[in-house]
Chains A and B, each alone.
Chain A
């Protein structure tokens, strides 16, 4: 197993830049998520790590060795493709054995390993079947079997659950994570589903338009988004943005929204101009006496919690409150924002200002 270091990795297709200077580190044994919307360069990044695409510039280090210009066959990496790419002219056993055959592993050893992998993935009974008639989940397991059979340095998975239906995704996601916890294999996993990334990942890289927006643990990224894009992309319902003009010097712990002072983590740099205050729905509380006034527009009941949609002079806000608290559309109320959980962004650059809360978080 291995540590993978990505340095200033860049990929151009003709005039189009798919990945512009990514830098991040995947530690040994990590379950690492590449997250971003469609077309942001996730697959391209993964393919460069695997060696299916050569970078225009930048470095890929696997266990300290620069492999960026090496062919895929020499990188000792396994990959699970989105459509699985099982060899259609071979049966399940041959598919799983195929990576071992290329290494010249003796036959008996191949048989033993294939049997072992099939047992782990519970597909022993399918070994002599063709791959054509398999269900989505079984194909997925065969693809996984082909990946884990030879103990590669790392696994690449490109939306491996994308082809499965919703119910089955859950099961396979759990199986995948369980398999990882058992093998501790460095895994790079591509997804555009932020929930999947948050649930399964040890670390997440969020990409947009070929740029790494943020890199860190799911919790850091959720609590302290480094950019407006990340704040908006992660979490459902998304983070609320209150737009206003204002300024605050370094060291300040409040900003003025309209006439109302709002407390937030102490700023480590000066902020001024068009600003955006970010607050997650669960950090908004309703209190009739609070000075920040709002009007309830709609209430969405979700069992233990409810999503309350409110209109304020700064725009619409959603609050997640316990469903036991009364909230009726049309009522006027006040908002209390949880000061320690607020983020302040520069509206023009989209960047989050450094504060006492997010100082330790890795900006992308």
Chain B
């Protein structure tokens, strides 16, 4: 036997690999750590030079993110009763008073509704279509599948102007429904193709066994195929959500008030009362959370699914 083993890497190469991974992790996480730490700094701390790594955490950024504030005359300010709540106090410490609620909460909810709504719709339609393409003799199947894929070939933004005009005509501009439909249209080709791959991997015998055991086609689909396809559905859902959640160009073009999502809104925070970096960082941090939570929740499925069904049976 030679001194080298195929299965067990040498100590040195293990160290090298570990170092490489650690370095990579630091490089990737650094911006994230920076954003999150900035979101907990006060205004002055956030722009101090040299930058503060150790600082006293403050919720100023988050309070500013959710409120609008004004300065009032010095004598009026002095005459105010003491602040009633913790967030009142934080605003008062900046020499201002709360004027009202900001629109961040609303925009964030829009993102949630549109992001998850379009993900659900893409997955729902995608699973049914993928099942049909996988299991039934559909006339012109190959041509249809290619057509579905081809909707993805042009960058969506290339058709932005026609869509803008069309949406204005149809009254879909700046509506939740309009954005859900748009993101679903973009995502569905990906969903159908990915899911078809996953469903193709599931042996037909499972459903046939259920059919023979007295279940209808739909019951067999729901009770046997869906649980088997869970991995595929989870990973496809994450892809769809990430696209819909992060989409910026269409959101800027098609939404302004009612259905505006978080991505076009966050940059506008910067203008509200000077350069409020902690508030921007707080907005960015909160914006990161849902996709992270969603991915972590589905991680168990994802880890199996990322191999695209290659290891089952």
Interface residues of chain A, those whose CB is within 8 Å of chain B, are 50-52, 71-73, 75-79, 81, 83, 85, 87-89, 98-99, 102-103, 146, 150, 156
Interface stretch (choices B6-14, B151-159, B212-220, B246-254): B212-220
**Contact of A99 with B214 in the complex, beta carbons under 8 Å:** yes
| Residues of B198-240 contacting chain A, CB below 8 A | 203, 205-206, 208-217, 219, 224, 227-228
Given contacts A73-B216, A81-B205, A83-B203, whether A89 and B228 have CB atoms under 8 Å apart is yes
CB contacts (< 8 Å) of A50 on chain B: these are 212
Q: A88–B219 Cα gap in the complex (Å)?
A: 17
CB contacts (< 8 Å) of A78 on chain B: these are 212-213
Interface string of B146-179 (1 = CB under 8 A from A): 0000000000000000000000000000000000
- Give B211's nearest chain A residue, CB to CB: A72
**What's the nearest-Cβ distance from chain B to residue A294, in Å?**
51
**Contact of A87 with B224 in the complex, beta carbons under 8 Å:** yes
Given contacts A52-B208, A72-B208, whether A85 and B203 have CB atoms under 8 Å apart is yes
**What's the nearest-Cβ distance from chain B to residue A13, in Å?**
10
Interface residues of chain B, those whose CB is within 8 Å of chain A, are 203, 205-206, 208-217, 219, 224, 227-228, 312
CB contacts (< 8 Å) of A76 on chain B: these are 214
**Contact of A87 with B211 in the complex, beta carbons under 8 Å:** no
The 3 nearest A-B residue pairs measured at CB: A85-B205, A102-B214, A99-B213
The SS class assigned to the A binding surface is loop
**Contact of A81 with B216 in the complex, beta carbons under 8 Å:** no
- Give A77's nearest chain B residue, CB to CB: B212
**Contact of B212 with A98 in the complex, beta carbons under 8 Å:** no
CB contacts (< 8 Å) of A150 on chain B: these are 213
**Contact of B206 with A146 in the complex, beta carbons under 8 Å:** no
**Contact of A85 with B213 in the complex, beta carbons under 8 Å:** no
CB contacts (< 8 Å) of A79 on chain B: these are 208-209, 212
Q: Which of A51, A87, A146 lies at the interface centre, i.e. has the most chain B CB atoms within 10 A of its CB?
A: A87
Q: A87–B214 Cα gap in the complex (Å)?
A: 15
Q: A78–B211 Cα gap in the complex (Å)?
A: 10
**Contact of A85 with B209 in the complex, beta carbons under 8 Å:** yes
CB contacts (< 8 Å) of B206 on chain A: these are 85, 87-88
**Contact of A81 with B208 in the complex, beta carbons under 8 Å:** yes
Within 8 Å by CB of A73, from B203, B211, B227, B312, lies: B211
**Contact of B228 with A88 in the complex, beta carbons under 8 Å:** yes
**Contact of A73 with B212 in the complex, beta carbons under 8 Å:** yes
Within 8 Å by CB of A98, from B210, B216, B217, lies: B210
CB contacts (< 8 Å) of A87 on chain B: these are 206, 209-210, 224
**What's the nearest-Cβ distance from chain B to residue A85, in Å?**
3
**Contact of A146 with B203 in the complex, beta carbons under 8 Å:** no
CB contacts (< 8 Å) of B208 on chain A: these are 52, 72, 79, 81, 85
Within 8 Å by CB of A52, from B211, B216, B219, B224, lies: B211
